[in-house]
């Protein structure tokens, strides 16, 4: 499998898990965006992959969903295996 394909698969998994995190927290894009003090389009862009986030922004996303960045990354790593 080409490296680009592997990276895309990994990124797709990240996006899927971000969305699942929000949904499992019982949050809509609107309620999450309010917690993040961002417009709803920000959350949509993050979940669709049209907006990449840095580590601190990912941490804020996780915290607003009621989990830690550490727990999220642990779940992500499990999903890669």
Question: What angle, 0 to 180 degrees and rounded to 10, lies between the N-to-C axes of helices 3-24 and 55-64?
Answer: 30
Give residue limits of the domains in the chain. Answer: 3-74
For the chain, 81 residues long, give each residue's pLDDT as a single digit of tens. 555 665 789 999 999 999 999 999 999 999 999 999 999 999 999 999 998 889 999 999 999 999 999 999 999 999 998
Tokens standing for 71?
């727990």
| SS3 state at 29 | helix
Closest of 18, 25, 29 to residue 59, by C-alpha: 18
Q: CATH assignment of 3-74, given 3.40.50.620, 3.40.50.2300, 1.10.260.40, 3.40.50.10860? A: 1.10.260.40
Alpha-carbon gap, residue 31 to 36, rounded angstroms: 9
The DSSP 8-state label assigned to residue 59 in this structure reads H
């Amino acid at each position: 499998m080409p490296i680009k394909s592997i990276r895309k698969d990994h990124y797709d998994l990240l996006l899927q898990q971000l969305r699942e995190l929000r949904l499992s927290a019982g949050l809509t894009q609107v309620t999450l965006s309010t917690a993040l003090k961002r417009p709803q389009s920000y959350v949509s862009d993050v979940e669709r992959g049209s907006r990449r986030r840095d580590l601190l922004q990912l941490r804020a996303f996780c915290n607003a969903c009621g989990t830690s960045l550490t727990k999220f990354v642990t779940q992500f790593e499990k999903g890669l295996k």
